[in-house]
Chain A
């Protein structure tokens, strides 16, 4: 694939070294217009020109961003968990709520201010689960403010699948609390119906020597805007963030990652890949990594790749790396957007391969390694079947 950028795309990534950002002692992002807060009133209503909102079609958020959205709907929560795992529904005054971190934008704060009950899934310490925990979130229409917490005790190991289906206008916060030496893999699938709107902040607090692996799979919905964030609770933590998205005609899919390296000897690795097809398909990927002065021994890498299958699609891919200490192991980023070109199609077809098969071969190949990261056969098969269906829809 040629490293070319289609017209109307950005890949204006940056590496900044030695620049002091934010206020000392305050967990401020590299580039946001208000300090994190639990209270929606602390955030001005965005007008669309702010750094964190400039790619988002605010008019399609159904009022989640400006205070007009009212909780009118239902998202059915269903948790299937192996023995030993507890599931509770708690009020907002539960001490666990909000421990991973504060909301960092207005919609996340709105969700925090407006949710009524939180679902808490707890994996006890030292429990090693042999089956995944499955959290089904099925939208039954209307606007919903949600809050989920997944808590994994020290030295426990768990795989959690969060499956978003149905129709909803959902603003939510999800917290992952990963205890010392614990291992958590979360697969979050956004397989919404065509009209759904989903804006959420996912905050992972990675404990000392703990491992967090996240696989985000975004397929459906009208607007999906996810904000996965990682903060470290102690040295030796590791975060791997993988993502796949297939952005179809008219869809807006936005993944904004932030990794806050404020603790020494932690690692992070990000790889997001997306394929786009159809008119006004819009994918946004923001990868912010901040290595603070205290975070000596940090090792981080982030990558975003996009494959544009047809004309009319748009990609904005912006990696940002800010480094305040030179005492690190490694830091890097890569971003590239390529087109599935006529020449590639010709080459494959000249070997007898039909056009639709050629496209499928390339897209499956493009996603291949990342799909294997899911590690759950049923989710992998469902994902590939979805992608095949999307490709067929485009050819037909």
Chain B
């Protein structure tokens, strides 16, 4: 069973006046089949956690360990992490002009699966998944993320999630900027992947709204670069009523 173990993870970014520590000792274990929601106020370091796990060069790991089934994730390059089974659905997916969605999807599926998918089954697989996400077939011929609306970008991320079938899926504010219909469609996609029982999900969000569609097993409150409180789904209800204020005050001096 795939397990992502994060232990005492510390991460800095380069700021104007030297390095600034953003993650200050994160401990978290995500097992296959589990869904963990990470909630927290803006600036608490949620997205830094997501990007650090994916290996974004902007973030420097200064301490701690991350392992996937015992393998050192931090020692892997960005592409190696993806091939090992870590997937990050980005909050702000990047435009790649000149590269069509279909070419991109096939190239990444080939990389992650270790061999080129058979053309006929692949075309069918992409088409069916796009239909489930209410994406126009013409979408496949557009350039990656170029001119996509916010909702289209998120659906495209979830399309990749469904096709690449990672062991660990990190969803960074996938709900932000979506209207109710789009949120439902995107959540259904995530739930299809969760339904296989083969993926551990790290759902990073500012709002409790998405948790009505995607039921977490665990909820963690993130504040000042670490997990301030952990609980079950009921913790989200408390946040819904009380907001993050108590955590922000508690962490303000840190």
Contact = CB atoms under 8 A, between A and B. Distances in A.
Contact of A350 (B78, B97, B98, B99): B78
B79 A355 contact: yes
A357 B108 CA distance: 10
B243 interface: no
Interface string A322-361: 0000000000000000100111101111111111010001
A352 B99 contact: no
A44 interface: no
A349 B77 contact: yes
Interface stretch (A143-151, A181-189, A362-370): A362-370
B103 A352 contact: no
B88 interface: yes
A366 B57 contact: no
B98 A352 contact: no
Q: For A346, A355, A367, which residue has the most chain B Cβ atoms within 10 angstroms?
A: A346
Contacts of B97: 1, 338, 365-366
Contact of A352 (B90, B112, B143): B112
Interface residues of A, number: 24
Contacts of B78: 346, 349-350
B96 A347 contact: yes
Contacts of B77: 349, 355
Interface in A347-396: 347-355, 357, 361-362, 364-368
B160 interface: yes
Interface string B126-169: 00000000000000000110000000000000001000100000
Given A1-B95, A342-B57, A365-B97, A349 B79 contact: yes
B46 to A, nearest CB: 17
A340 B93 CA distance: 15
A253 B43 CA distance: 47
Contacts of B95: 1, 344
B94 A344 contact: yes
Contacts of B28: none
Contact of B111 (A1, A342, A351, A367): A351
Contact of A362 (B56, B79, B87, B99): B99
A368 B104 CA distance: 14
Contacts of A342: 57
Interface in B38-95: 54-57, 77-79, 81-83, 87-88, 90, 93-95
A365 B94 contact: no
B100 interface: yes
Q: For B77, B81, B144, which residue has the most chain A Cβ atoms within 10 angstroms?
A: B144
Q: For A1, A344, A349, A354, which residue has the most chain B Cβ atoms within 10 angstroms?
A: A349
Contacts of B83: 352
A202 B3 CA distance: 65
B54 A357 contact: no
Contacts of B93: 347
Main SS at interface, chain A: helix
B107 interface: yes
Contacts of A361: 99, 103-104, 107
B79 A365 contact: no
B170 to A, nearest CB: 10
A77 B133 CA distance: 59
Contact of A354 (B79, B81, B90): B79
A364 B98 CA distance: 8
A351 B144 CA distance: 13
B108 A347 contact: no
A361 B88 CA distance: 20
Contact of A351 (B55, B104, B143): B104
B108 A352 contact: yes
A322 B88 CA distance: 50
A365 B99 contact: yes
Given A346-B56, A366-B97, A351 B103 contact: no
Nearest to A273: B98
Of all A-B residue pairs in the complex, the 4 with the closest CB atoms, nearest first, are: A365-B98, A351-B108, A352-B111, A352-B82
Given A351-B108, A351-B164, 12 more contacts: A347-B96, A349-B78, A350-B87, A351-B104, A351-B107, A353-B79, A353-B107, A357-B111, A361-B107, A362-B98, A365-B143, A367-B98
24 contacts: A1-B95, A1-B97, A338-B97, A341-B94, A343-B94, A344-B95, A346-B56, A350-B78, A350-B82, A350-B90, A351-B111, A351-B160, A352-B79, A352-B111, A352-B164, A353-B82, A353-B107, A353-B111, A357-B107, A361-B107, A364-B98, A365-B97, A365-B98, A368-B98
